[in-house]
Each structure stands twice: as structure tokens, then as C-alpha cells.
A and B are shown apart, each in its own frame.
Chain A
Amino acid sequence: MTTNLDLTDIQGNIIKAYGAYNFQKARYLFLRINNGDKGRQFVDAITAKVTTAIPWGKSENGDVAVEKPRVTTNIAFTYSGLEALELPTASLREFPDDFMMGMSKRKDILGDDGPSDPENWDKIWKEKVHIWISINAPDMDALIERYNWVAQQVEASDGGVTLLTGHRGGDDEENLPYQDASVLYDESGNPTPKEHFGYTDGIGDPVFEGQTNVAARVLGRGKLMRDGSWAPLATGEFLLGHVDEAMEYPKTAPSPMLLSRNGTYMVYRKLHENVAAFNRFLDEQSKSFSGSKEMLAAKFAGRWRDNGAPIVNAPDDASKDEWDKAFEAADFAGKKRMLTDFTYNNDLHGAKCPYSAHLRRINPRGSLEYGVKEAYETPGALVNRRRILRRGLPYGAVKDAARDDGNHGIIFMALNADIQRQFEFVQQQWINYANDFKEGNDKEILLGNHDTKHPSKAVLQVEPGSGKPPHFINNIPRLVETRGGDYFFIPSITALKLIAAGMVDPT
């Protein structure tokens, strides 16, 4: 069991969702390495500025703490990037297949077809992407300052690395050299936790062993135990070189241990949101729905749009009012708890939170036991190894809510120790398929790769025996489309230094 993480060795974006620290802006850069020596020098220069996971400000338990920086910088590599940096073959061949292949070649697993097909991605994904660099900052000034610094390092590499262009932007740009992302603001200019469909996002990231303040955060976010309590997940689900839920070191870690330990894999996806299609769809469907439009929107996601209230605890308009009152009255910790601490034990049939709702599909908690008493070793037996850390921010602005073809969506990043077992499994088996939910091929409503040739439907279940028919949602359009992305390896600080020095030795 890992009780203390070496936070000075782990990149900050693995442990921290920077958005939660009021870093409202992000910029993502992608680079190609043209020359091994110069590429390693570039990595060395960037490494000096890489943000670690060390706590900011004063920490309660006397841990080492540093002042919160003005801007953060993190770096990761594709498989071909590591090849270009001339890692030894003995190390390279030990990376997992999914990472070696990269995201576009995994399209048949991910369901990236039709409008999500790699053919339709931003132009940059036709390039050889080797390096990902992220910059997060509270404001654009700090962000641009760091961006300019990175650009100087590119310049100084003397052709060793190229900053790639080809990101689509909001003003008909096709060739931007960066992808910007930002929290969305309300009408008075205050930052919100919303995405473009109006849902409150980023609640309930998994909590694992070794993180700080685990006891307070683990409710509803760790793994569900038989006695109803929650325990942090094993560190090795999210960090290589640590024991995972199968009581072993992740086998996705290449040797030497110094190269992989405290690193992880990241899935980067630019997800376009068809805002007009979503609004039209919600309007149409709510005409035949017995509850309010907001209640129907909550059925799609499993959370109410305005404050993220889990629908399993606020299943209709009346109970939502009650929930809101209790939420208002709760203190900070109580609010957090109301948002995350729940199960589907009282909703085995999906009458409150439908089986096709986003929340239930991406984290079914104990519900895959289907109420069979102690069916499995532990209630989350089929869930605990399918969790992902989610990072990212919305991008773009909805200029015309009646059109789908703007540039707006979410930069989604999933971090996990095993892309195939965690991210890809959730995407393939739980979002685009539903055998585990006994719903055949019915897809998750919001993210499913619905297609017009074979129109999707979803069943919003009701109480069994009530005599009421379930509500059917028909002709679900493709609401979210993939516009690009790849699989990256986020090395530890130690590994970055070894890579930069050309000293990786698998012996």
C-alpha cells in the first residue's frame, strides 16, 4: 500500500485538476521532434519549468509546501515521440499496444466513426505529434508569458523541435499553433463549472491511496466496500510503479522502473459539442416527457444541470426543491458530500437514474451486482479497475446556439495506468455498448456515438410494478464528436531527466 506519494517526482496535472485551483485558462501545444539530440535538450529545458504535484500553500499535516505558482507547465509524449527521443528499444517494446498504436488506430474500439472519424479531425492530427505541453494559468497574461517562453525554447532548439499548427479555432482558423481552453463564464463574468450543454462538470474524480486529505474526499469517489463505507482506490490504478487493485505492479510499465514509476498514461480528446442539436433534441423530447425539461436533462446525465445534484437523490422536480434547500443549508464539506456520496442501492431498476445516464454508465458504483446479495467479492468488483482521472476544460464559445458547426466543446483528458483496461473499456463497453447494463446496444445518451443510419433510443426506466410504461427517448442525434487526440505517456520528473539526458537504461 502506498501511503505517501513522492509528490516532488509526480507531474502536477496527475494529482491536481488545475481548474479547481482557479486556473481558469489552459493552452495545449503539440510538437514534433526532428532531431534526437536537440529534442532531448528541448525536453531538458522544459523540465526545469515542469510543475510537480507538491501541495501549494500551507499544508495541514506539515508536508512540504510551496507557494502557488502563477502558471503551470506539464509535458507528455506519444510513443513515436519516445522513439524520436531515442529511448532504448528494450524500453520501447515494453510499452502497451494501445499506447504504441495511438488513438486514431484504435478508432474501431473507441467508436470514432462518421463525424468522429480521424479523417474529420483537426488538421494537426495528420502531423507526427510527439510532444504535448500544457500551460494552465489564472489569466491570459500569465498564460501567454509562459507560452512565449516555450516558443523561445522551440526557437532555441535550432530546428530540433517544431511547434505544430493545425488546430481549428473559433474564428474560422484552421491552422492555430495551439489549442486554447477556458472555464465558461456566467452573464456577470464569473467563472462557472459548466460545459456548453449547461451541465455542471468535474464532480467526483476518483480518490486513491496517497492523495492528501483522503478521508474527507473519499465518500462516493473511492471504492465502495461491503459495509457501505468508501476506501481510496489503489495507487497503481493511476500511477505506474505502485500496487494496483489486482495486488500487483501495473504491467503497462516499461523498464527500467525509474522510467515508469510515478508516471501514467493520458488520453487527450478534443470533443466537439453539437449545442444546437442538443437543445433541439431536449426541447423535442421534453414535449412528451411527464416531468420538466430540466428533469429530463438530468435523466440524460444523472445530475441536474444547475448545481450537479445527483438525480438518484433528487429524482423529480419536487424532490429537487427539497434537495436544493438542504444543499443551501449545508456547509462546504456537507455540500461536497451531497454531490458525491451516493450509490444506486435504492435505485436498482433505474427508475431514478436511468441505466443509460452518463453518470451511471461511467461509474456504476455497486450497481452491477443488480441487488444480488454479496454476488461478488466486493460491490465494485467490476468497477474499481475501470476508473479514470478526468482533467480538462471547455474550449471555444457558442456564438450561434442554433448551429452545430462552431468550434466549441471540451478538451477531455483521461489519466489511468492502463488505457485499454480503463479508458477504452469505459468508452467501448459502457458508453457505446450496454451488455453490462443488460441494455444490449443502447448507448449512453450524451456521449454515445449515435448514428442516423441506425437511430439510437434509450429507455428511461420507471418503478417496476407501478403499471407505468417506461419513457422512450428516440432518434438520439450524435451530440458529441471527436475532433482529435492521441495517447500520451506522462513521465515522472526523474524519468524526464533520464530521457533528457539520454540515460534511460533498461539493462
Chain B
Amino acid sequence: MSNIAGKAYAMNVITPIRWYTTWTNKLFFKAALLIPETLKGLLTLSLIHYARWVIIPRDGFPRLDPSQPKEELHYAYMLFFSNFNGSWDQYVDSFTFAIPSGLDLFWKWNIRYPKSVPLTPFHDYIRHNQIDTAHYYNAYPMAASNDVKSAQKVKKALIDFNAKSSDKSADDFLKDYHMLLNNLQHDFGDMKPTPIVSLSSYEVKKRYEQTKA
């Protein structure tokens, strides 16, 4: 079992919610999707790969086989699924510091949701309802999501630059090259195995050594 792969952490939280109030949550989710402005805090938090909230109706849980008895569930459930860079504490802390009211809105009506501030009851709530990750694959263990985004930007810019610059004079080439560097000045971060995500996990180091081997 590991929630950690490379620099990323996978978090699954599943919380009970009264089935007859889930429409309000769905409304909030829909509104958030329609008005991306409401998610700007989430989008600005650069450690997040993505976050997803899903309502699972009380009769909506999958069965492996029709012979598997149907569960009689009292509650519907809300699944929160996210991948992020950094440790559990760093992520949950950033969330509560940056977008406490947004969290309260998304988890509204969830059973025994304590609100995101103060911190400790929120920590306890998330940890209590977290389903640890059994298997987690990460294609780029050394990369944070920002590194992937930067790499994509640099790659595209270089291909474009190459296409445009082949026939230019030396002076124009230099001018364009400087412009290119200027445009990419926030995308030149190095990529190394550190930092470790948690002391109990040396996965980062191990993965790094695997990629070298």
C-alpha cells in the first residue's frame, strides 16, 4: 500500500451524506463548472494535479457480479479524489488556509463535517474517512504537476521557435532567442528527486534510482 508515488500523493475520501440533500451539492458542483471563476483558488494552488468531487447515490455502488447481494445503504456518499504534490499535511493545510469557504460549500450537509476551520477537527474528519491507496502508478515520479506543465510549454515553444528561426539572420535569431527565453523564464525549474514526501517513505529516492538504472 502506498498513497505516495514519486512526488505525488493520491487521496481518496468518501463521506456519507443524506440522499435527499445531495441535489444541493450537485448544484454547487455544476455552478463551479459553469463559472470557473469560483475555482480560481483551487486552480492557483500549484501543488494540485486535480481534484474531483462525485456524488454516489445510495443505490449506485457497483457490484462485481449480479450474484453479489445489493447493499442496503442508509446514506448516499460523496467521493473526493485528488492527486497532489507534497505531504498530506501540506496539502490539507494549504486547502484549509486558502479556500476554507469553498471546502465548506462542497462538503455542506456531509454527515459530521466539522467545517474546515479550526484545523484539527477537519484533519481528523478527512483522515477518518480517507481510503488509503492500494496501488498508485506515476508516469513521471520526479515531476510535480508544475514541472509537467512547464515541460509541455517549453517543448511547444522550442518546436515553434525551430520552425520559425531556420532562415533568420544571426542578429534576428539572437533577438528571437532572447524573446524565447523571456517567454519561458518561469519554466526553467530543475527536476531532482528531492524533497521526500514523508520520512516514512523513501519512494522518491528509490524511484529515482530505478529511472537511472
Task: Name A's B-contacting residues (CB within 8 A).
Answer: 106, 108-109, 111, 245-248, 251, 349, 355, 369-370, 372-377, 381-382, 384-385, 420-421, 425, 428-429, 432-436, 438-442, 454, 456-457, 459, 461-462, 464-470
Among residues of A, the one whose C-beta sits closest to the C-beta of B149 is A438
Residues in A neighbouring B100, C-beta threshold 8 A? 377
Q: How far is the CA of A435 from the CA of B142 in the complex (A)?
A: 12
- Could you show 25 A-B contacts with beta carbons less than 8 Å apart? A108-B199, A246-B96, A246-B117, A246-B119, A248-B120, A369-B44, A373-B40, A374-B40, A377-B100, A381-B97, A385-B97, A420-B89, A433-B195, A439-B186, A439-B189, A440-B188, A442-B190, A457-B188, A459-B185, A462-B182, A464-B182, A466-B182, A469-B178, A469-B181, A470-B182
Q: How far is the CA of A470 from the CA of B186 in the complex (A)?
A: 10
Q: How far is the CA of A260 from the CA of B199 in the complex (A)?
A: 26
Among residues of B, the one whose C-beta sits closest to the C-beta of A449 is B194
Give min CB distance, A469 to chain B, whole Å: 4
Residues in B neighbouring A459, C-beta threshold 8 A? 185-186, 188
Query: Do A440 and B189 touch (CB < 8 A)?
Result: yes
Give min CB distance, A268 to chain B, whole Å: 21
B149-185 vs A, CB cutoff 8 Å, 1 = contact: the mask equals 0100000000000000000000000010111011101
Query: Do B186 and A349 touch (CB < 8 A)?
Result: yes
- Is B46 part of the contact surface with A, judged by Cβ < 8 Å? yes
Q: How far is the CA of A457 from the CA of B118 in the complex (A)?
A: 40
- Is B132 part of the contact surface with A, judged by Cβ < 8 Å? no
Give min CB distance, B7 to chain A, whole Å: 8
Q: How far is the CA of A464 from the CA of B187 in the complex (A)?
A: 13
Query: Do A440 and B150 touch (CB < 8 A)?
Result: yes
Give min CB distance, A485 to chain B, whole Å: 18
Given contacts A109-B196, A467-B182, 7 further A-B contacts (CB under 8 A): A246-B96, A385-B93, A421-B89, A440-B191, A440-B192, A462-B185, A469-B178
Give min CB distance, A353 to chain B, whole Å: 14
Among residues of B, the one whose C-beta sits closest to the C-beta of A465 is B182
Q: How far is the CA of A125 from the CA of B140 in the complex (A)?
A: 39
Give min CB distance, B88 to chain A, whole Å: 12
- Is B85 part of the contact surface with A, judged by Cβ < 8 Å? yes
Query: Do A382 and B191 touch (CB < 8 A)?
Result: no
Among residues of B, the one whose C-beta sits closest to the C-beta of A98 is B199
Q: How far is the CA of A420 from the CA of B89 in the complex (A)?
A: 10
Query: Do B190 and A440 touch (CB < 8 A)?
Result: yes
Query: Do A435 and B117 touch (CB < 8 A)?
Result: no
Query: Do A440 and B147 touch (CB < 8 A)?
Result: yes
Query: Do A376 and B46 touch (CB < 8 A)?
Result: no
Partner of B182, one of A245, A384, A468: A468
- Is B101 part of the contact surface with A, judged by Cβ < 8 Å? yes
- Is B60 part of the contact surface with A, judged by Cβ < 8 Å? no
Q: How far is the CA of A251 from the CA of B97 in the complex (A)?
A: 17
The 7 closest A-B pairs by CB, nearest first: A440-B189, A248-B118, A246-B119, A469-B181, A375-B44, A376-B98, A441-B192
Per the CB 8 Å criterion, the residue count for chain B at the interface is: 45
Give min CB distance, B43 to chain A, whole Å: 8
Q: How far is the CA of A384 from the CA of B119 in the complex (A)?
A: 14
- Is B99 part of the contact surface with A, judged by Cβ < 8 Å? yes
Give min CB distance, A98 to chain B, whole Å: 10
- Is B144 part of the contact surface with A, judged by Cβ < 8 Å? yes
- Is B82 part of the contact surface with A, judged by Cβ < 8 Å? no
Q: How far is the CA of A416 from the CA of B15 in the complex (A)?
A: 34
Residues in A neighbouring B196, C-beta threshold 8 A? 108-109
Query: Do A461 and B181 touch (CB < 8 A)?
Result: no
Among residues of B, the one whose C-beta sits closest to the C-beta of A467 is B179
Q: How far is the CA of A425 from the CA of B43 in the complex (A)?
A: 22
Among residues of B, the one whose C-beta sits closest to the C-beta of A101 is B199
Query: Do B190 and A457 touch (CB < 8 A)?
Result: yes
Residues in B neighbouring A246, C-beta threshold 8 A? 96-97, 117-120
Q: How far is the CA of A469 from the CA of B179 in the complex (A)?
A: 7
Q: How far is the CA of A421 from the CA of B97 in the complex (A)?
A: 13
Q: How far is the CA of A247 from the CA of B20 in the complex (A)?
A: 32
Residues in B neighbouring A462, C-beta threshold 8 A? 182, 185
Query: Do A384 and B178 touch (CB < 8 A)?
Result: no
Q: Which residues of chain B (85-143) have a CB below 8 Å from chain A? A: 85-86, 89-90, 93-94, 96-101, 117-120
Q: How far is the CA of A462 from the CA of B186 in the complex (A)?
A: 10
Q: How far is the CA of A375 from the CA of B94 in the complex (A)?
A: 13
Given contacts A246-B119, A377-B100, A428-B195, contact A467 B47 (CB under 8 A): no
Give min CB distance, B168 to chain A, whole Å: 15
Residues in A neighbouring B12, C-beta threshold 8 A? none
Given contacts A247-B117, A372-B44, A376-B41, contact A438 B146 (CB under 8 A): yes
Query: Do A438 and B46 touch (CB < 8 A)?
Result: yes
> Which among B43, B90, B97, B150 has the greatest number of chain A C-beta atoms within 10 A?
B97
Query: Do A469 and B182 touch (CB < 8 A)?
Result: yes
B33-59 vs A, CB cutoff 8 Å, 1 = contact: the mask equals 000000011011111000000000000
Query: Do B118 and A109 touch (CB < 8 A)?
Result: no
Query: Do B117 and A461 touch (CB < 8 A)?
Result: no
Residues in A neighbouring B144, C-beta threshold 8 A? 435, 440
Q: How far is the CA of A438 from the CA of B41 in the complex (A)?
A: 16
Partner of B194, one of A251, A369, A373, A432: A432
Query: Do A464 and B96 touch (CB < 8 A)?
Result: no
Give min CB distance, A246 to chain B, whole Å: 4
Query: Do A470 and B185 touch (CB < 8 A)?
Result: yes
Query: Do B119 and A248 touch (CB < 8 A)?
Result: yes
Partner of B189, one of A245, A382, A438, A464: A438
Give min CB distance, A107 to chain B, whole Å: 10
Give min CB distance, A419 to chain B, whole Å: 12
> Which among B44, B85, B117 has the greatest number of chain A C-beta atoms within 10 A?
B44
Q: How far is the CA of A436 from the CA of B90 in the complex (A)?
A: 11
Q: How far is the CA of A441 from the CA of B119 in the complex (A)?
A: 29
Q: How far is the CA of A429 from the CA of B46 in the complex (A)?
A: 13
Q: How far is the CA of A87 from the CA of B114 in the complex (A)?
A: 34
Q: How far is the CA of A375 from the CA of B189 in the complex (A)?
A: 24
Residues in B neighbouring A428, C-beta threshold 8 A? 195
Query: Do B195 and A382 touch (CB < 8 A)?
Result: no
Residues in A neighbouring B177, C-beta threshold 8 A? 469
Query: Do B90 and A425 touch (CB < 8 A)?
Result: yes
Q: How far is the CA of A440 from the CA of B185 in the complex (A)?
A: 12
Q: How far is the CA of A456 from the CA of B191 in the complex (A)?
A: 11
Residues in B neighbouring A440, C-beta threshold 8 A? 144, 146-147, 150, 188-192
Q: How far is the CA of A459 from the CA of B188 in the complex (A)?
A: 8
Among residues of B, the one whose C-beta sits closest to the C-beta of A351 is B185
